[in-house]
Amino acid sequence: MNTTEKQKLLEALNTGIVTVTFEKVGTGELRIMPCTLNSNLLKENGIDIKIDMNAESDHFACFALDKKAWRSFRLDTVKQWDTN
C-alpha cells in the first residue's frame, strides 16, 4: 500500500466506520474488521482517548467495533477496505 492509499484509509478511519479486510499475521486467516478512529464513535463506545496515526507507519491501530477493543493490523496484509 503506497502512502497516498494509506492516507486515504487513515482519513476514512478518522471520519467514520471502515471495514478492513486483512490477513492475520501468523495464521494467514482473513479478518474482516469494522473499525474506526472517529472521536465521536469512540466516545459512543466509552473511549475518551484519541490515537494519532501516521500514514508513514507500517501498521495502524484502531478501535474494532465488533470486538469493542483496540486492534492493529499491518498495512502490507490489507486486502481491501471500504467505508460504511
> Is 34 strand, coil or helix?
strand
Q: How many beta carbons lie within 10 A of that of residue 8, not counting itself?
A: 15
Name every residue whose Cβ is closer than 8 Å to that of residue 76 and which is 6 or more positions away in sequence: 1, 58
Per-residue pLDDT averaged across 15-43, rounded?
A: 96
Q: In the structure, what pLDDT confidence band is assigned to residue 5 with cuts at 50, 70 and 90? A: very high
Domains identified in the chain and CATH numbers: 3-83 (2.30.30)
pTM of the full structure: 0.93
pLDDT tens readout for residues 36-78: 999 999 999 999 988 889 999 999 999 999 999 999 999 999 9
